[in-house]
Chains A and B, each alone.
Chain A
Amino acid sequence: MQEQGLIPHLFRTEYSKIIAVLCKAFGMEYIALAEDIASDTFLQAAETWGMKGLPANPVAWLYAVAKNKAIDAIKRNALFTKKIAPELIQSTEINCEPEIDLSGQNIIDSQLQMMFAICHPSIPAEAQVGLCLNLLCGFGADEVADAFLTNRETIYKRLARAKEKLKSEHIILCLPAASEINNRLARVLTALYLLFSEGYYSSSQNATVRKELCVEAMRLTHMLVDNEQTSTPQSNALLALMCFHSSRFEARINEEGDQILYHEQDERLWNTELISHGEFYMCQASKGNEVSKFHLEAAIAFWHTQKTDTPEKWDNILQLYNRLLITEYSPAAALNRTYALAKANGIQEAIKEAELLKLDGNHLYHALLGDLYSNIDYAKAITHLTKAAGLAKNAAEKNLILKKAAAINTGNPSKAQEYLIKS
């Protein structure tokens, strides 16, 4: 890797590891100190490496510098007397230096514990995904704002408030007790699911950012699956879901960043390796009797990796959506169920059901009705698609809908007909 690109790359991979280990050593109330030390370390790297050239092992260099800075900070600060000294008095072995352990195992343990700290019940859900990006993936406030299409100010405030909470609640970096782990893990899985969805379905045009969110969500979920205590059927199901979805990542966005509809995707671009990984984690997830929302969504995503367009496939998808909706309602699931209903039970039945959905303010609802009507009633199809275009949240979605409307107008409805909302 070129020297110029190396520091940003290392920042992305190593910054969050240093933070997690330091927070583990100092306690979460010193999170700002941990962030300062990690930032200073990278600043020093940029200055030193620029003048003296790259060290033989840049990562080891970063860890050594961070460790020295941490030890200096402890000695300098009142932290020593307040935090470390009471422990030393109890301890039989007198050791003046607290342990800053940047070994691979401690990094993994600390990051895993950091996930649980971020997803603590006292941290608001909308802050958790941003905190994950910031503290576990090395995203700066600007990058988090970019990913969420929110302004920097809002994100900055949200992150600062959440970190204040991490401090004031005296959240300790550790894995929850066995009796609590399932409840606490559920929140972690939800945050990772949202992080992945933000990347996969985000309206952001920046395909690089979107892909990065998916990759990071998968990396963190992998960490859960690699740990015996957190490798539950639900964790495995979530990872399977992510593998199946991301197998189509290259096929669903073109060079301009526009979305390519499911039936128009070039399946040669589907990543078969990720599909087989998904199948592996799906098998792991099937140990036991639990069928969670993640299991159902993973099974739906699996069927979408099967290109064959048979009634059996669509009836399977319909039944999975039925169960998913019974487990937990969401407008997206209601709309996707209606699409599957059209494919499995016929368009007339789907139209009848669609009209009962009461999702009049949702652009995807009108896009779906536009599709369902496209071969039956041109005027109605155009009316719904026009409504959908008016309600669309961004230019890309609006373009996609207008393209469909144009296809119907030119008498080529088959092009517009097959439209999967979650393509």
Chain B
Amino acid sequence: MKEFLLIFRRDLVTTTAQQSPAEMQDMLKPWQDWMGSLAARQALANPGNRLSNDGRVVKSGNLVTNGPYVEIKEGIGGYIIVRAASIDEATELAKGCPIMLIGGNVEVRAVVPMDSNG
């Protein structure tokens, strides 16, 4: 089995795309059920984290900007690590992700093991 990072992206900028506290509450169950489903299949290697919208970007010359969303609206909202036999299987796992319910997307990336040249 290999490990894959699932990166959840969504619109962090457009005001109308932001969720109200009530909408966020409604999203809780789909997320918990989806994560529980992955765990029940022994496919969840690491439950990862949710990320706050607030952020900084440090660029060369120690130039600091507020947030990663200067050029694009989309930012990373969270990530998990799944266990799968292949990238295709990992992609299948990503298909049920609730980020899609709010117009977001999932990037699936193989984790390169320490002892590999990738």
How far is the CB of B1 from the nearest CB of chain A, in Å?
Answer: 12
**Binary interface encoding of chain B residues 28-65 relative to chain A, with 1 for a CB under 8 A from any of its CBs, else 0:** 01001101110111101001000000000000000000
A337 proximal to B (CB < 8 A): yes
A383 proximal to B (CB < 8 A): no
Chain B residue nearest to A335 (CB atoms) is B40
**Binary interface encoding of chain B residues 1-43 relative to chain A, with 1 for a CB under 8 A from any of its CBs, else 0:** 0000000000000000000000000000100110111011110
A142 proximal to B (CB < 8 A): no
Say yes or no: A318 contacts B41, CB within 8 Å: no
A325 proximal to B (CB < 8 A): yes
Pick from A105-113, A265-273, A350-358 the stretch touching chain B. A350-358
Pick the residue among B29, B41, B44 that contacts A326 (CB under 8 A). B44
Say yes or no: B32 contacts A322, CB within 8 Å: yes
Say yes or no: A357 contacts B41, CB within 8 Å: yes
A407 proximal to B (CB < 8 A): no
A315 proximal to B (CB < 8 A): yes
Chain B residue nearest to A334 (CB atoms) is B40
Pick the residue among B36, B39, B44, B47 that contacts A318 (CB under 8 A). B36
Most buried by B among A322, A323, A353: A322
Q: Using Cβ atoms and an 8 Å threshold, which residues of chain B touch A326?
A: 35-36, 39, 44, 47
Interface size on A (CB < 8 Å)?
A: 19
Q: How far is the CA of A321 from the CA of B36 in the complex (A)?
A: 7
Say yes or no: A322 contacts B39, CB within 8 Å: yes
How far is the CB of B25 from the nearest CB of chain A, in Å?
Answer: 13
Say yes or no: A337 contacts B36, CB within 8 Å: yes
How far is the CB of A325 from the nearest CB of chain B, in Å?
Answer: 4
Chain A residue nearest to B93 (CB atoms) is A356
Q: How far is the CA of A337 from the CA of B44 in the complex (A)?
A: 15
Q: How far is the CA of A252 from the CA of B31 in the complex (A)?
A: 35
Say yes or no: A353 contacts B37, CB within 8 Å: yes
Q: With A315-B29, A326-B47 as given contacts, are A358 and B41 in contact (CB-CB < 8 Å)? A: yes
Say yes or no: B40 contacts A338, CB within 8 Å: yes
Q: Using Cβ atoms and an 8 Å threshold, which residues of chain A touch B35?
A: 322, 326
**Binary interface encoding of chain A residues 313-343 relative to chain B, with 1 for a CB under 8 A from any of its CBs, else 0:** 0010011011101100100011001100100
Pick the residue among A323, A329, A338, A345 that contacts B42 (CB under 8 A). A329
Q: Using Cβ atoms and an 8 Å threshold, which residues of chain B touch A315?
A: 29
Say yes or no: B39 contacts A329, CB within 8 Å: yes
**Binary interface encoding of chain B residues 45-88 relative to chain A, with 1 for a CB under 8 A from any of its CBs, else 0:** 00100000000000000000000000000000000000000000
Q: How far is the CA of A357 from the CA of B44 in the complex (A)?
A: 13
Pick the residue among A322, A333, A341, A356 that contacts B41 (CB under 8 A). A356
Q: Using Cβ atoms and an 8 Å threshold, which residues of chain A touch B33?
A: 318, 322, 341, 345
How far is the CB of A193 from the nearest CB of chain B, in Å?
Answer: 20
How far is the CB of B64 from the nearest CB of chain A, in Å?
Answer: 33
Say yes or no: A322 contacts B42, CB within 8 Å: no
How far is the CB of B30 from the nearest CB of chain A, in Å?
Answer: 10
Q: How far is the CA of A358 from the CA of B83 in the complex (A)?
A: 14
Say yes or no: A353 contacts B32, CB within 8 Å: no
Residues from 92 to 117 in B contacting A, C-beta threshold 8 Å: none
Say yes or no: A325 contacts B36, CB within 8 Å: yes
Q: Using Cβ atoms and an 8 Å threshold, which residues of chain B touch A341?
A: 33
Say yes or no: B29 contacts A325, CB within 8 Å: no
Chain B residue nearest to A328 (CB atoms) is B39
Most buried by A among B32, B33, B35, B36: B36
Q: How far is the CA of A358 from the CA of B35 in the complex (A)?
A: 17
26 inter-chain pairs at a CB distance below 8 angstroms, sorted by A residue, are A315-B29, A318-B33, A319-B36, A322-B32, A322-B35, A322-B39, A323-B32, A325-B40, A325-B44, A326-B35, A326-B36, A326-B44, A326-B47, A329-B40, A333-B40, A334-B39, A334-B41, A334-B42, A337-B40, A338-B40, A341-B33, A353-B40, A356-B37, A356-B41, A357-B41, A358-B41
Besides A322-B35, A334-B41, A345-B33, 6 other A-B contacts (C-beta < 8 A):
A325-B39, A326-B35, A334-B39, A338-B40, A341-B33, A353-B40
List B residues at the A interface (Cβ < 8 Å).
29, 32-33, 35-37, 39-42, 44, 47
List A residues at the B interface (Cβ < 8 Å).
315, 318-319, 321-323, 325-326, 329, 333-334, 337-338, 341, 345, 353, 356-358
